[in-house]
Amino acid sequence: MNSTLLKKELREALWKLVLGTVILTALALFIPLSYNFIIDLFSLLPYEQLEKYLGTIPTDLFNDFSLYLWSQWNAKNLPQLGAIMAILVGMSLLAGEANNKTMSFLLTRPVSRRSVFLSKVLTGILMMFIMVWTATLLMIFTAGFTPNAVDTGKLLTCTFITSIGLFVILSLSILFSTIFGEPVKAGGATVLILVILAAASWFKPLRVINPFIHMYGAQYMIAGTFPLIPVLLMSLAAVGFLAVAMWVFQKKEY
Amino acid sequence: MTLAIELEGLSKSFKDKKAVDNLSLQVPAGSIYGFLGPNGAGKTTTIKLMLGLMRPDNGRGKILGLDIEKESESIRRRTGYVAEMPHMYGYMTVQEIIKFCRPFYPVWNSGLVEKYLDFFSLPLKGKIKNLSKGMNTQLALILAIAPEPELLVLDEPTAGLDTINRQELLRIILEEISVQGRTVFLSSHLLHDVERVADQVAIINQGKLIDVRSIDDLKSSVKKVRVVFQKEVPDDLFSLPGIQSYSREGKAYLITIEDNLQDVLNAIKNYPYFALDIIDQNLEDIFIDKVRRSKA
C-alpha cells in the first residue's frame, strides 16, 4: 500500500466524508431524541387504529427502546441513506479520476495499478466505516442519556450486519466505476441493479438476492439468531465485486 | 549500439481503426529522437503503449532494456513523461504536486526543481487549475526531469505554447537532458522544433512508419529538381530508381528524388533542356511530401 496515494485519496474524499458524517450523524441523533415525542404522538391514537397503521410491526415496538432505535436506524435510515452514501463514494473513486483525465497522469508515475486500486478501495471502505460508525456510536451514546434501557451489544451487532450490506453496495459501485469510467453512469448502473434486486424480492423465492433484506439484521434483533450465512455470502459478494473490479482496472486502457 | 527504445511489430487497433500498424523502431541511447506525424498518426498511442497505459494487440517492445508489458512500473521509474495536455490535480498547488510526485522516485533533484520553478516564475502556492497551458507544460516538464530520468518522453510538448516558451522548453531539453547523455523521445507535428534539436527522426502516418533517418541524411537525400525540357521526353525516364513523384506542366517537370540524385540527374541531362534547378528541401517540405505519398 502506498501512503502517498492513500493521503491523496483521503484528501480528495474529505468533503464527502465530512458531509456524509454530518448528515448521517444528524439523522442518527434525531432518533433517540425524538423517541418520547413519537410515543406521545402514537399514544393519542386508539390501540385498534395503531394496529391498523403499523400492520405487522409488533405494537410493543414502542415499549422497547432498543427495538425502536433498531427499527429507525438499522431497518430504515442507515440502509437507505447509507446505500446512497456508498453509491456516491464508490461511483467516483475510479471513474472520477478517469473522467478528469488525471488517471493517465497518475499511471505514468512509477506506481502499480494494484496500489492505485487498493488505495482507492481502502479510502472508500474507510469513509463508509467512519460515516456509519460515528453516527451509530453517537446515537447509542446519546441514547444513554435518556432514561430508557439500551441494548448496546445488539445495536452494534446489527450495525455490523448493515455495514456488510453497505460494503456490498460500495463494491458494486466501485465495479461499475471501474468499468464505465464515468461517475454518473457508474452510479446509475448501481442504482439500476439495486432496484432490480429490490423488485425481484417481491417474489418470495427471490427475496434472498436482495441485500437490503439481509442488512437490516431483523433475524438477529427480533429472534436473536445471528445471520451467519447471509453475512458470509454478502462478504463474499463484496470481495468478488472488488476482485472483478481490480481485474478490469488492470486491463483498462487510459 | 545501446538502444533506449526498441519496438518490434507493435500494433494497436481501436474497433476497426488501426492506430499503430506493425511499428518497429530503434532509438539509440543518448540521442534526441524526433517522432513526427500529422495529428492522428498514432504518435500518442505509440507512447501510451511504451508507458503501459495501453496494451499492444501484437508485437513487443523494450524500453531501457525492460519489457513494456511486464516491467512497466520499472520503465516509468526511469522515464520522464510530458503529455500533450498534462492533466494534473487542479485542486493541488504547485508545491503540493511536487510533494506528491517526489516519493514515487528513487532520485529527486530538488536543486533542479527550484532552479526551473524560479526560471519559469511558477507560483508555488498557485493552484494548478489556475495555471495557463504554458505554465502547466512547464510544471509537467519540471516533474518529468526532477527524477533525472534516463529517458524523457515528450508528447507534443510545444503544441499551444508561444514562441518564447517553445524555445525555452527546447533549450532545457538540450541543456538538461541531452548534454548529460540521456535519451529524449520527442513526438511532434511541429517540424521546426524537431529540426532544431533532433539527431534522428522517424515519420509515422496512419499508424505506419514511413521513414527513419538522421535529419542531415534526410535533408541531403531528398531533393526536388525543376527541369524544363526542350521537347517531349519518354515516360520511362520517371520510373528511374529514386524518383518518388513528379508533376508536369507542359514541358516543365517538378521531380522529387530520394537517395539517387546523381544517377537521376545524369539521366535527365541526356535530354536537351532549357533550365534545370536543384531545390533543397527543409524538414517540413520532406515531411509533407512523405505524408502525402504515404496516403496515396
Q: What Cα–Cα distance (Å) separates residue A199 from each residue in A165, A190, A207, B19, B29?
A: 17, 14, 9, 45, 63
Test mutation, A109, A114, A116, A247, chain B, max B CBs within 10 A: A109
* Alpha-carbon gap, residue A70 to B8, rounded angstroms: 64
Q: Report pLDDT for B289.
A: 79
Asked if the structure places residue A231 within a domain, the reply is yes
Q: Which range marks the domain in which residue B112 is found?
A: 3-206
The DSSP letter of residue A194 is H
Asked if the structure places residue B211 within a domain, the reply is no
Sheet bearing B32-36, strands edge to edge: B79-82, B151-155, B183-188, B32-36, B200-205, B208-214
Total domains, chain A: 1
Mean local confidence (pLDDT), B274-279: 89
Q: Report pLDDT for A50.
A: 66
* Alpha-carbon gap, residue A1 to A117, rounded angstroms: 10
B167 and B50 together in one domain: yes
Test mutation, B69, B73, B137, chain A, max A CBs within 10 A: B73
- Residue with the bigger pLDDT between A143 and A40: it is A143
Q: Specify whether the CB–CB gap between B138 and B165 falls below 8 A.
A: yes
Total domains, chain B: 2
Q: Residue A115: which pLDDT band, with cuts at 50, 70 and 90?
A: very high
Q: Specify whether the CB–CB gap between A187 and A181 falls below 8 A.
A: no
Among B83, B89, B100, the residue with its CB nearest the CB of A4 is B100
Per-residue pLDDT of A44-58, as tens digits, reads: 777 677 666 666 555
Asked if the structure places residue A209 within a domain, the reply is yes
Q: Report pLDDT for A59.
A: 60
Domain of residue B100, CATH code? 3.40.50.300
Q: Specify whether the CB–CB gap between A211 and A165 falls below 8 A.
A: yes
Q: Report pLDDT for A1.
A: 65
Q: Report pLDDT for A53.
A: 66
Q: Report pLDDT for B239.
A: 85
Domain of residue B250, CATH code? 3.30.70
B112 and B182 together in one domain: yes
Asked if the structure places residue B213 within a domain, the reply is no
Q: Report pLDDT for B159.
A: 75
Q: Which residues in chain A touch residue B52, judged by CB atoms under 8 angstroms apart? A: 107
Whose cell is 513494456? That residue is B68
Those residues with Cβ within 8 angstroms of residue A22's Cβ, 6 or more apart along the chain or in another chain: none
Q: Specify whether the CB–CB gap between A221 and A154 falls below 8 A.
A: yes
Q: Which residues in chain A touch residue B74, judged by CB atoms under 8 angstroms apart? A: 110
Asked if the structure places residue A38 within a domain, the reply is no
B83 and B196 together in one domain: yes
B111 and B174 together in one domain: yes
The DSSP letter of residue B150 is S
Among B54, B87, B104, the residue with its CB nearest the CB of A102 is B87
Among B48, B52, B104, the residue with its CB nearest the CB of A4 is B104
Per-residue pLDDT of B150-176, as tens digits, reads: 999 999 888 777 888 888 888 888 877
Q: Which range marks the domain in which residue A137 is found?
A: 3-31+63-251
* HSE-up of residue A112 (Cα within 13 Å, Cβ side): 8
Q: What percent of chain A has pLDDT over 90?
A: 76
Q: Specify whether the CB–CB gap between B9 and B262 falls below 8 A.
A: no
Count of CB pairs separated by less than 8 Å, A with B? 51
- How many residues would you count in chain A? 254
Q: Residue A239: which pLDDT band, with cuts at 50, 70 and 90?
A: very high
Q: Residue B77: which pLDDT band, with cuts at 50, 70 and 90?
A: very high
Per-residue pLDDT of B218-264, as tens digits, reads: 877 888 899 999 888 888 888 888 888 888 888 889 998 888 888 88
On the question of pLDDT at A113 being above 90, the answer is: yes
Mean local confidence (pLDDT), A55-67: 70
Residues 7-36 of A with CB under 8 A from B: 8, 12
